[in-house]
Structure 1
Amino acid sequence: MLTVKAYASPSAAEPLVPTSIERRDIGPNDVLIEIAFAGICHSDIHTVRGDWGPQAYPLAPGHEIAGVVVEVGAAVTRHSVGDRVGVGCMVNSCGQCVPCESGNEQYCVAGFTGTYGAVDRDGTITQGGYSTHVVVVEDFVVRIPDSIGLDVAAPLLCAGVTTYSPLRHWGAGPGRKVAIVGLGGLGHMGVKIAHALGADVTVLSQTLKKQADALELGADHYFATNDPQTFAQLAGSFDLIINTVSAPVDIDAYLGLLALDGVLVNVGAPAEPLSVNVFSLITTRRALAGSTIGGIRETQEMLDFCAEHKLGAEIEVISAEQINEAYERVLASDVRYRFVIDASTM
């Protein structure tokens, strides 16, 4: 076992503290990664604070991991020492069900093994990227192109693929009108990717305070949702809406913004249930859908796409001792647009 430095939450009600965690011995198909940077996702906060159910503590979160391979198992063929690599929200899956065999491990019938807070193959609880090193089976490690800095690449492993996947699946591109709800960690990557795909992109945010940022990121239009006229003016406008907000919203109001056969996709995951009036769907054959991250093949595709289009996350790099402050700032929407932890400060 390898003992490494980490930051972990002792309980749902306590701040994260410096500690040490154990990583398993490297098996024949494993890769040992020295972590350079780890992004802070809103999911980290939900999880360690018990918003999505009880957790096993202490728990080190983090599923936006970028680093360098420092050791490989004897049977590893995909990665070599010195490779720049990333790890996202999954570190394993059954590998045998239809979703896994089709490259959609995120929808594994048995449930994928999460990067943290999940039962690993050896029966231990997985610990995430708020640490200096991680051991991951090679099939769940992706290559980070040389043209993307490891710091701006880290958030792509969750925020990037979480928006890329539904944009690709529902056909964002030239001639399609796409709206991104919320301009945060997920939303800002949704804007960049939708713009690079060639779609006409609108940002829907609570106020006008992020308008200049949105236009600079690639949005064609920007509207404030706290203005009732916005929903009247934009009624029936969009082919695709990606809702990135991790808090309850008026789903019926946003469904009203869809054109015939339009789709509203939720990628944000609020702790509270959302309700919908069926007439918001049937009157113009609209659809309400959900999407979570992306498979390993699609994650690599997303990274290569970002390299081709020179895309990376907008980040604020912090030291490990600033994690708890960063959590409060995320909850206050006081980050533009992703905190990234410098793992060398663990």
Structure 2
Amino acid sequence: MNMSPFRATLIFALAMLSLAAPSSAQQQAAPAPQQAPALAQPQPPAIPAQAAPTVQAPAPSAVVPSAPAALASDATATPADNGSRSLKSTTVALRELSPWSMFMSADIIVKAVMVGLAFASLVTWTVFIAKMIELSVIQRKLRAALARISDARSLADAQFALGAKASVLSSLLAAAMREARLSAGISSDSGIKERAASSFAEIVRAEARRIRLGMGLLATIGATSPFVGLFGTVWGIMNSFIGISKSQTTNLAVVAPGIAEALLATAIGLVAAIPAVIIYNHFTRVTKGYLELVSRASGAAGRLLSRDLDRTHVGTHSRAAAE
């Protein structure tokens, strides 16, 4: 097939252009990977706010911390929290200091002091009840006896009026009649009255000693109980200081129990002493009033003896005059 030179040249040019086009494209595409990192990354499409899922936190009451979490919370506690906890524990310990617990935890010496003071207080109230009953009964009986013999003309009439009831007045009348009988035939009335007055004084002193029975015990308790309680206090404070030195701390939970036990001994001493002193003073006044009644009875017996002596002398003179 015959081609013209022009057509052959054109075909050759087109073939060369088709071969050169891929190589140039490869040369232009090669630097592209080096420039790719500098290009901005494409951002994902933004999610609308309303479409974002909402996550609800669990309720605080439903959260139960595990043991390691609790330990971590204790480790991360602040000094203020630790101070408040120690203050609460100290307050609870102080509230447990009842009198019975303090007594049970006290030293044996302090316990002995407290028991002794409690027994002394029991004795005080026993004496008070017994003496109140005794004094009220004997005062009433003596007043009634004095009222019965107020119109008696002789010792025999007075004894008949009293009957077989035993009292200090009946003892005085019996002593007067015994002295009159033993002094029969003696003309000295003053000697008889003096001897009878001596017998009356002995009876009055014996009655005073009897009615004051237990008063000395009250005086002893009232005078010594505060000092016994103070001894228990000193001993308890000594033990407290020894405990402080051993524990090497001045914490209130360590110091307070020993001091409270010591002060409890003093309190029991005052509880035993104050009523004893008051009761002693009360019985001193009541006893004085009763002894005044006894003195009145002694005077009544002396007057009746004097009447009998005068009546005897009058009868003797009358018989002598008749003879």
Q: TM exceeds 0.5? A: no
Q: What TM-score bracket applies, with the shorter chain setting the length?
A: under 0.3
* TM-score (norm. length: structure 2): 0.18
Larger Rg: 2
* TM-score (norm. length: structure 1): 0.18
Query: When you count strand as a share of all residues, which structure comes out higher?
Result: 1
